[in-house]
Chain A
């Protein structure tokens, strides 16, 4: 009960200044880049105007073959999923 009350107080302490600061940022147009006609509202990469300019830049060429990266990707995914099931069971 005491813990729940504490959580409620902490959340109020967090949310009120957060909303106030977010409002202040929006009102004053802080953090924007003039040359970019988007911001946090473009939640997914395809929502960014001319997204291919950013996403398909080919800025980095990996010396590691794709199959190794995919194998590591799948291996870590498998291990971490098993860990999740184990940790949830404990």
Chain B
């Protein structure tokens, strides 16, 4: 009888990937309905404070309402999900509540004027998690909620709704050439350089760094790390390197472009194709001028849609080649691909296609933008919880090992230099006016 009960309860268990898909899609549907009904559902985000603006200015009734709503929504979804994963929901909720408080601190710090403009919350989430883990340690009661992959997969499915495939026409064939021709070439260059020249055994780290460099920094790194089943430290290393170099590129690229007289059109396209974070692209483009800003954002908006395709291709590549050691002579079957493919990638991809080809044509760009404003903060909270979890489950010795004698850094620098050179060549070919007519961009 007890065996029968055990079998019955096991049958009710849901895989983590399926749960991420369910939670993600339920949140997307709720966000869509609340936007259409005009009901507030947004999660808490801090406005910039510091540099003359007091933090207390934003602490009001609405602030606390958002804070409570954010906690309740995330706690309910993740705790119920934990129950369906076969975990103790009470123990999970206890740990989750503390990680949520740490997340609150992370988002508070990262909204400070200077930090907000240069560093991402992922950086502070890692630091705070690491500090806790390597000083006071992680108590046993907190560990049930330290679940990096659970939060990341859910955040990615939510993010899928904002990856709008229709943006592919934003800059026509010019954008396709600059963003879509260059990006996979850089990824393959970095893959071969990392695995064959630097002989890095950690292939998930190589592909995570490659996508962070060539696509769009942190968001691409998160998606690719999950698709390649990278270790938590692979993701944190790739994101840390990308964050630091983005600061430099945001400041120096416009200066160099001005110095060499590249012009706003080509300069903006070069920035859009090479600077990792979308915020940094917009700022660097604006520093050059209005045309550069527009061109930079047009190119970057196409790169943003590549996240889903790259993550899907990486998942298939790792399933069919890397996890099978790459040497197997047996052809991989479709059912084997299906069994081993991380299913949340399908949810991420499905959310993107639904938003692009069903919701946007039916309800318009403005509605989709309004829904994505709501979803973006839930996605950020999920990622904050994930990065705190990474920090909490990492010790300093592991980080030292992860650095692999400096090889990941060399890989990033070589890849970024190749990215800049190749993007420049393509930008010159298509936007110099020597080979093709110049695009008519309205300002």
Contacts and interface: CB of A to CB of B under 8 A. Distances in A.
Nearest to B301: A55
Contacts of B187: 84
B248 A18 contact: yes
B277 A40 contact: yes
Q: Is the interface of B mostly helix, strand, loop or mixed?
A: helix
B35 to A, nearest CB: 13
Contacts of A30: 251
A23 to B, nearest CB: 9
Interface string B396-418: 00000000011101100100000
A58 B116 CA distance: 28
A21 B248 contact: yes
A37 B121 CA distance: 16
Is chain A's interface secondary structure helix, strand, loop, or mixed overall?
helix
A55 B297 contact: yes
B10 interface: no
Q: How large is the interface on A (under 10, 10 to 19, 20 to 34, 35 or more residues)?
A: 35 or more
Contacts of A60: 170-172, 174, 298, 439-442
B251 A31 contact: yes
Q: How large is the interface on B (under 10, 10 to 19, 20 to 34, 35 or more residues)?
A: 35 or more
A48 B439 contact: no
Contacts, number: 218
A14 B283 CA distance: 25
B191 interface: yes
A36 B443 contact: no
A29 B286 CA distance: 16
A32 to B, nearest CB: 6
Contact of B410 (A10, A41, A46, A54): A10
Interface stretch (B59-67, B146-154, B212-220): B212-220
A4 B48 CA distance: 44
A71 to B, nearest CB: 11
A36 B304 CA distance: 21
Contacts of A55: 167, 297, 301, 369
Interface of B: 48, 110, 114-122, 159, 162, 166-174, 176, 180-181, 184-185, 187-188, 191-192, 195, 198, 216-219, 243-248, 250-251, 254, 276-280, 282-284, 286-287, 293-294, 297-298, 300-301, 304, 309, 313, 317, 321, 326, 365-366, 369, 372-373, 375-376, 379-380, 405-407, 409-410, 413, 439-443
25 contacts: A18-B245, A25-B247, A25-B251, A31-B283, A32-B283, A33-B287, A37-B48, A38-B279, A40-B120, A40-B280, A41-B115, A41-B120, A41-B121, A43-B276, A47-B376, A57-B297, A58-B442, A62-B171, A76-B184, A80-B188, A81-B184, A83-B188, A84-B191, A85-B317, A89-B326
Given A19-B244, A57-B297, 5 more contacts: A41-B119, A55-B297, A59-B298, A60-B440, A84-B191
